[in-house]
């Protein structure tokens, strides 16, 4: 990595853009710094030079929290792009506007984009952003952050090096809407098995929900091109909050209780007729637990300097959305198998994160408390 200091700006100064880390008191699936502004401030390779938000209250909080002057806070992201000429742009706005902002940032000459999830609302939007980024040579990463979690990357290393044998099954439990937070679960499944989904079956929470474009809960069966089979449940999961179960012929890794525990099982002698029995063994802990935000920044810098794709690329973000839509389409078609890629690129899911997005979530919560 070169000694270049990259100039970074954040568009959308809410929780993920600025203050999410201040809420976290335990690790598990989060290792600090995690969200965008604190990661840029902590990285020795970046300088936070601007923030953008149409809400003045958000801008003031951001400036005070990260030591910026009011001259570095903008209401209009196009004005910021023109005046500041950042190398990095984080897009932490509502998903409703994310695709247009990313395209404008690419055309303005940024070197890299670190976008929140879901990547876009529709497949057509995703296609347009990716096509433009590829033509302009701009690295675009999507913050499906488990790819930057040391425990998940260690499990993936075990897969890649054959320590779990042939991978057979991946199961995920994540009570959430399929697009907004479900993108995390879907992407983690793809990451852990190192494969793309060829076809799905899906069952949504109701026929009425499946008939519309609003975000929704559901369950699905995922068939990967490498032979792995997956099951995803985003309807209520009870005593299995955000858990992943990765099963191979020679071993098994389970991430439990929102990442607070990681279990590893492998065959040992014994059992019925001495055929062996799976027993828990120490999970091979990484030698260090790096910040997830710093890992994402380092990954993007590597992409800028080598022309490679990010660990969680724009295409990965598009595929997470496409799988969620395909599951819903399966329900719409009476539970039929749906093959990927989807031909109809106008299909979309209105991420639950855009609900009431005319007013930032932080301000809505404050107003509710005052009421």
Q: What is the CATH number of the domain that holds 114?
A: 3.40.50.720
| CA distance linking residue 243 with residue 63, whole number of Å | 37
What is the count of structural domains for the chain?
Answer: 2
359 has a pLDDT exceeding 90: no
Is 164 found in the same domain as 139?
no
What CATH number does the domain containing 154 carry? 3.30.360.10
Four-residue CA torsion sign, 233, 235, 151, 20: positive
Q: Given pLDDT bands bounded at 50, 70 and 90, which one contains residue 286?
A: confident
- The H helix count followed by the E strand count for the chain is 11, 15
Residue 366 lies in a domain: no
Is 329 found in the same domain as 185?
yes
Q: Given pLDDT bands bounded at 50, 70 and 90, which one contains residue 358?
A: confident
Is 80 found in the same domain as 12?
yes
**Mean pLDDT over each residue of the chain, to the nearest integer:** 96
Q: Cite the DSSP H helix spans in 24-167.
A: 36-42, 56-66, 77-84, 95-107, 123-136, 150-160
Is 50 found in the same domain as 126?
yes
Contacts of 174 (CB under 8 A, 6+ apart): 181, 182, 184, 185, 232, 233, 234, 237, 241, 242, 243
The 10s digit of each residue's pLDDT in 207-240 is 999 999 999 999 999 999 999 999 999 999 999 9
Is 244 found in the same domain as 226?
yes
- Give me the domain span that covers residue 36: 6-146+291-308
Is 96 found in the same domain as 110?
yes
Is 268 found in the same domain as 203?
yes
Q: Given pLDDT bands bounded at 50, 70 and 90, which one contains residue 371?
A: low
Residue 266 lies in a domain: yes
Is 161 found in the same domain as 126?
no
Q: What percent of the chain stands above pLDDT 90?
A: 91
Q: What is the pTM of this model?
A: 0.96
């Amino acid at each position: 990595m070169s000694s270049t200091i990259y100039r970074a700006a954040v568009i959308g100064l809410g929780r993920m853009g600025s203050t999410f880390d201040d809420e976290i008191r335990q690790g598990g699936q989060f290792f600090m710094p995690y969200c965008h502004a604190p990661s840029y401030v902590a990285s020795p390779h970046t300088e936070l030079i601007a923030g953008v938000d149409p809400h003045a209250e958000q801008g003031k909080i951001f400036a005070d929290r990260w030591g910026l002057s009011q001259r570095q806070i903008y209401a209009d992201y196009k004005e910021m792009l023109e005046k500041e000429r950042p190398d990095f742009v984080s897009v932490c706005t509502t998903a409703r506007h994310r695709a247009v902002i990313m395209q404008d940032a690419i055309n303005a000459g940024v070197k890299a984009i670190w976008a929140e999830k879901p990547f876009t609302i529709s497949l057509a939007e995703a296609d347009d952003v990716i096509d433009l980024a590829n033509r302009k040579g701009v690295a675009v990463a999507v913050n499906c952050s488990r790819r930057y979690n040391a425990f998940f990357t260690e499990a993936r290393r075990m897969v890649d090096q054959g320590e779990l044998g042939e991978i057979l099954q991946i199961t995920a439990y994540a009570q959430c809407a399929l697009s907004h937070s479900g993108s995390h679960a879907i992407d983690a499944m793809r990451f852990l098995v190192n494969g793309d989904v060829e076809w799905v079956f899906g069952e949504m929470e109701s026929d009425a929900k499946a008939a519309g474009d609003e975000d929704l809960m559901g369950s699905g069966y995922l068939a990967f091109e490498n032979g792995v089979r997956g099951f995803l449940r985003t309807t209520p999961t009870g005593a299995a909050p955000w858990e992943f179960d990765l099963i191979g012929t020679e071993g098994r890794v389970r991430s439990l209780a929102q990442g607070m525990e990681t279990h590893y099982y492998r065959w040992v002698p014994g059992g019925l007729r001495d055929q062996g029995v799976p027993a828990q063994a120490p999970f091979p802990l990484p030698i260090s637990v790096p910040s997830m935000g710093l890992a994402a920044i380092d990954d993007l810098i590597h992409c800028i300097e080598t022309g490679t794709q990010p660990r969680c690329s724009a295409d990965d973000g598009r595929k997470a959305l496409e799988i969620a839509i395909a599951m819903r389409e399966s329900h719409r078609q009476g539970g039929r198998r749906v093959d990927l890629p989807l031909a109809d690129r106008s299909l979309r899911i209105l991420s639950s994160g855009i609900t009431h997005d005319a007013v930032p979530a932080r301000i809505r919560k404050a107003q509710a408390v005052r009421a």
